[in-house]
Amino acid sequence: MLSAVSKALCVSKTSAKPAVQWSIVRCLSSLANDASISLLEPFKLHRLDDGPSRDTTLTRDDALRYYRQMQTIRRMETAAGSLYKSKEIRGFCHLYSGQEACCVGIQNALTSDDSIITAYRAHGWAYMRGIPVHGILAELTGRKTGCAQGKGGSMHMYGKNFYGGNGIVGAQVPLGGGIALAHKYRQDNSVCISLYGDGAANQGQIFETFNMAKLWDLPAIFVCENNKYGMGTSVERASASLDYYTRGDYIPGIWVDGMDVVAVRDATKFAKEYCLSGKGPLVMEVETYRYHGHSMSDPGTSYRKREEVQEMRQQRDPVSIFML
């Protein structure tokens, strides 16, 4: 097992360039301390007079940190995939490859006092909330040295102000509403991020939570990680409305390119400031893509073409397009 982990986690000195270069060069030389950049995709707003600016700055240290974090998660998930195929990991295993910019961007706009609760695609989130790679892989393989002593597995990892990994579709959102209520009750100037996928976006309990969160103006950010497929069903076949950021109706919303780590960071900063100003909750949609199937037991090729996945890897990969 250790050899498989070591091989998968080794960081190469070079990385493949995307097939289509961005119109802006996100390069920070060894002599530059920061750079001014313009985001490619504009934010889409719902019931908001203004949103984050498309013109932003990125420091050298931040850029290196984001890149290192995304690369670590990518290699950790590659290791997890190899361990699953060699039967070192049993049961469920949902990989986060392709969605790294979501967790890295959001976490880098938060503090350790802010709370996060997510669904079962939780490995990347566990790492970003302070659980080391060893603790995650040990948990996946059922070791006592895992972050939940080997008893939680892929879907149930926890850390400080990180409330998991939850296996019931959509059930984490009402729990996140309760966590946001606790933040408001304690007046600790913190928010709760409740994450769910496009496959859970039609759940009734989510809309019930929206209602209560707005009634009480909770410091809650509801984030839909739209990776285009709920299990094997495309969003076009599952949802009458694909504008998930507008689903809160009376709750303002924002859409952000989930393949752009800087855009996700800035959108989250905006959302947090909005919630902490006393205006109540906000819905955020991060449009992203998963490279693997729904879980390791799903090859992911019966409901989408291999060419579609390959095109996303070549042109929209969040790690490759973040050129340093």
Which residues are CB-neighbours of 31 under 8 A, at least 6 positions away? none
* pLDDT at residue 23, as a whole number: 37
DSSP strand pairing (55-59 vs 115-117): unpaired
* pLDDT at residue 238, as a whole number: 95
Give the separation between CA 288 and CA 295, rounded to whole angstroms.
Answer: 17
Give the separation between CA 247 and CA 323, rounded to whole angstroms.
Answer: 34
* pLDDT at residue 299, as a whole number: 86
* pLDDT at residue 297, as a whole number: 85
| CB contact at 8 A, 292 and 124 | no
Other C-beta atoms lying within 10 Å of the C-beta of residue 77:
25
Structure tokens at 250: 């009376």
Instruction: Give the three-class secondary structure for 311.
Output: helix
Q: Closest by alpha carbon to 124, among 167, 165, 91?
A: 165
Residues (pLDDT < 50) of the chain are 1-26, 324
| CB contact at 8 A, 135 and 117 | no
| CB contact at 8 A, 312 and 98 | yes
What are the E-state strand segments in 89-138?
A: 115-117
| CB contact at 8 A, 8 and 82 | yes
